[in-house]
Amino acid sequence: MEILPAESSPNDPLLAWCRAVAQQHAHQWPVPEPVLAASFVRSFGPDAFSTFQSICELCVRLGIDVSVRPMPPDIRGHNLFYENRRAIVVSEHQTFPGANEHTVLHEVRELVEHIFVELGVRTCSSMEEIEARAEEFASIARSEAFSNTLLVIWTGAEEIEKKWARYGAYILIGVGGLAYLLGLWFLPALEDASLPEKTGKRNVRT
């Protein structure tokens, strides 16, 4: 698989990551979305995915401007290029916890695909496919980052001396962690179900 040169600043960490992933997984391309998302989290650190603010700070490091603005009810966010800069706009009318974080990561994945296209190593052949892969990328990236945090909490619980308190902590961590992870995966469906009326298309990030 030949990776074409892309026009960009030499100090472009997102381009550098895309090129590295494409080279590393040239034998298995297009790379499965879970592998891509896990690589993204490892490369930029799980702490960068903990809050909307931290994800926005990561975007700044990646040369992506993020803003929150009023948008039509059936649009959650979109991405664009202008004056050689990347930008993401997020709807200010998202009501579910974690929706902003999910939307930004969805849009980041679409920007990544744009770079893959420039490099000649696209992973998608249609808008429907990139939408589906971007939704999966956002959920997996947040799940991967949270799992790292959960492991740290679990390790801390092992140091509790009283056995009943330690096992109680394990139960709380396990139940709470599972509930949180399920919330990450079901968030897109919950957002779609919350639309006040059918608009003829799904509530999209584009």
pLDDT in tens, 169-190: 545 545 555 555 555 555 565 5
pLDDT at 2 (0 to 100): 43
Higher pLDDT, 149 or 13: 13
Give whole-number Cα distances, 80 to 87, 97, 166, in Å: 5, 25, 49
User: For all residues of the chain together, what is the average pLDDT?
Assistant: 77
- Per the CB < 8 A criterion, the answer to whether 91 and 52 are in contact is no
DSSP bridge partners of 80: 87
- Per the CB < 8 A criterion, the answer to whether 4 and 26 are in contact is no
DSSP state of 11: S
DSSP state of 203: -
Give whole-number Cα distances, 48 to 41, 125, 146, in Å: 8, 30, 11
- Per the CB < 8 A criterion, the answer to whether 85 and 170 are in contact is no
pLDDT at 184 (0 to 100): 58
Domain coordinates in residue numbering, the chain: 13-205
pLDDT at 72 (0 to 100): 85
CA triplet 144, 76, 140: central angle to 5 degrees? 10
Residue 79: strand, helix, or coil: strand
Tokens coding 54? 């931290």
- Per the CB < 8 A criterion, the answer to whether 108 and 139 are in contact is no
| Strands 85-91 and 64-69, bridge-based pairing | parallel
Q: What is the mean pLDDT of residues 74-78?
A: 86
How distant is the alpha carbon of residue 10 from its chain centre? 24
Q: Does 133 score more than 60 pLDDT?
A: yes
Q: What is the mean pLDDT of residues 70-81?
A: 86
Query: 120: Cβ–Cβ under 8 A, 6 or more apart, which residues?
Result: 2, 3, 4
Higher pLDDT, 158 or 18: 18
pLDDT at 95 (0 to 100): 72
pTM of the model: 0.75
Q: Does 30 score more than 60 pLDDT?
A: yes
Q: Does 165 score more than 70 pLDDT?
A: no
Angle between helices 99-119 and 163-193 (to 10 degrees): 70
- Condensed to tens digits (0 to 9), the pLDDT of residues 91-105 reads 988 777 778 999 999
